[in-house]
Amino acid sequence: MTTRYITTPIYYLNGEPHLGHVYTTVAADVLARYWRLAGARVKFLTGTDEHGQKVAQAAEAAGENPKAYADKMVALFLEMTEKINASYDVFLRTTEERHHLAAQALWKKLEDAGQIYQSTYAGWYAVRDEAYYEESEIVEGRAPTGAPVEWMEEASYFFRLSAWERPLLDYYEAHPQAIAPIGRRNEVLSFIKGGLRDLSISRTKFDWGVAVPGDPHHVMYVWIDALTNYITALGYPDVDGEEFQEFWPESLHLLGKDILRFHAVYWPAFLMAADIPPPKRIFSHGWWTHDGEKMSKSLGNVVDPFALIDTYGLDSLRYFLMREVPFGQDGNFSEDALIQRINSDLANDLGNLAQRVLSFAYKNGGGQISSPEEFSREDRELLAKAAHLHEILHNDMDSQALQAYCRHIWDVVGEANRYVDVQKPWSLKKSSDPQDLVRMGTVLYVLMEVIRHVAIYTQPLMPEASAKILDQLGQSERTFEALKTPLKAGTPLSEPFPVFPRIA
């Protein structure tokens, strides 16, 4: 049986969830739902990154101890995850005991393998990025990301990252699909080729983190702790366990381009050093701006996803996020663009198709799916296009081409709308020739079969709206397997109603 392990980053708790977090989690959810409908065994992991200086400082600013602060903030992320209908299997908090145990087990494994040594770190650190920077990277007193940096000097454990330069390059050469899109893969390769320095992996100036085994004056650097979450959720250190064996070889990490280096350089190096294969694939998506500007709290232009959902509906937002921008590229959010997508793709294209066909069929076809007579060439062509989606969409999802997935479905929606205009079932209805009424039944059957395909395939994108269409069509079998059997004539239809209202 096919398996899929799909992860989101675990989000920092220093602020409220925003559109960027929603984006990655929706993308992961679309993939998870697709693979479940395809019959795969799926594990979908998300969660929160609760340790480190950034969260500790946010807690301090709120006048709370870090654990109490984390317990309060995590509720907002859980609420977001529920509100966007993310079908996660595990929501992991790094403050959970099982995670502390997993992170410490990984540390011990690295230590036993001679990968960790003690020294002193002296250099730049950006709390906002939870990242170390080289002197050469600092521009006008800031990190390349624009984050303020501070000079740090403290006793620290180091990981022998420099030893993994060659093995990483060899690994990526042997696994060209391990980092996507290709441009990001090239960035990672040139970063590694530029030379890797050993990485400081512990801190002593604060204690909000996982204690270093055997040396509790140190807490682990938040990134070694955070990255471990992906294997904690599979029962690490039990690498021989069923969960680990089944899911780790099929791992897919989704993340924004901001944190590619941590995932594509540090994480595979830690794993290889601990005798664990690197993740199968890392997909790094682009960055959303708002009305052309970077979203930031100080600019006061962070997009609040909850308000959008309340105004426009969840499924419309999910569709927009997947359709608007090729997955992997940067995009710009504007309310106008959202409204335009809703009105054109959802209300006009899909909504109209479903509404006009289903209400016509309900009224004029005895409230049930009509029986087809002989199919014409046009009928067969349209049915073949719908049937062919199976293969096209599988390839899209296998390469995380989420926008292409939408476009390919909408190509068929467009064909179906043109078919309605050409076949004119309403004219056939008015004809006095009894053959025309038979033909009307066939045309409606073809259209309902195409709508069934479309609504089954839109389930990962828009679970609730698709369910409404399938309810109206009287379909209870909704997996891709169901599409192997032709639509059954005689199935009762439910009273139709519009699923995608236009936004005025």
How many residues of this chain interact with ligand ME8, rule: CB under 6 A?
A: 19
365: contact with ligand ME8 by CB under 6 A: no
Preceding amide of 181 cis, omega within 30? yes
21: contact with ligand ME8 by CB under 6 A: yes
455: contact with ligand ME8 by CB under 6 A: no
Nearest distance from C-beta of residue 165 to ligand ME8, angstroms: 22
Figure out which of the listed residues 5, 6, 9, 386 binds ligand ME8, where binding follows CB under 6 A: 9
Nearest distance from C-beta of residue 8 to ligand ME8, angstroms: 7
Which window, 60-68, 222-230, 454-462, 469-477, contacts ligand ME8 (CB under 6 A)? 222-230
Figure out which of the listed residues 123, 167, 213, 256 binds ligand ME8, where binding follows CB under 6 A: 256
Q: For residue 236, with 0-12 CB atoms within 10 Å meaning exposed, 13-18 middle and 19 or more buried, which class applies?
A: buried
Question: What is the Cα–Cα distance from 420 to 239, expressed in whole angstroms?
Answer: 56
237: contact with ligand ME8 by CB under 6 A: no
44: helix, strand or coil: strand
Nearest distance from C-beta of residue 183 to ligand ME8, angstroms: 16
Nearest distance from C-beta of residue 401 to ligand ME8, angstroms: 17
264: contact with ligand ME8 by CB under 6 A: no
Q: Mask 180-219, x = binds ligand ME8 (CB under 6 A)?
A: ----------------------------------------
96: contact with ligand ME8 by CB under 6 A: no
Cβ atoms of residues 107 and 213 within 8 Å: yes
213: helix, strand or coil: coil
Question: What is the Cα–Cα distance from 242 to 3, expressed in whole angstroms?
Answer: 12
Strands of the sheet with 179-180, listed across from one edge: 90-93, 41-49, 3-12, 251-256, 281-285, 179-180
Tokens representing 329 are: 């590229």
Q: Helices in 84-221 by DSSP H: which ranges?
A: 97-112, 165-174, 182-193
Figure out which of the listed residues 92, 199, 226, 487 binds ligand ME8, where binding follows CB under 6 A: 226
Tokens representing 147 are: 């984050």
Question: Taking CB under 6 A as the criterion, which residues in 47-76 touch ligand ME8?
Answer: 49
Cβ atoms of residues 203 and 221 within 8 Å: yes
Measured CA to CA in angstroms, residue 105 lies from 199, 203, 253 at distances of: 19, 18, 22
Nearest distance from C-beta of residue 413 to ligand ME8, angstroms: 28
Binding stretches for ligand ME8 (CB under 6 A)? 9-12, 20-21, 23-24, 49, 226-227, 229, 255-256, 258-259, 287-288, 295
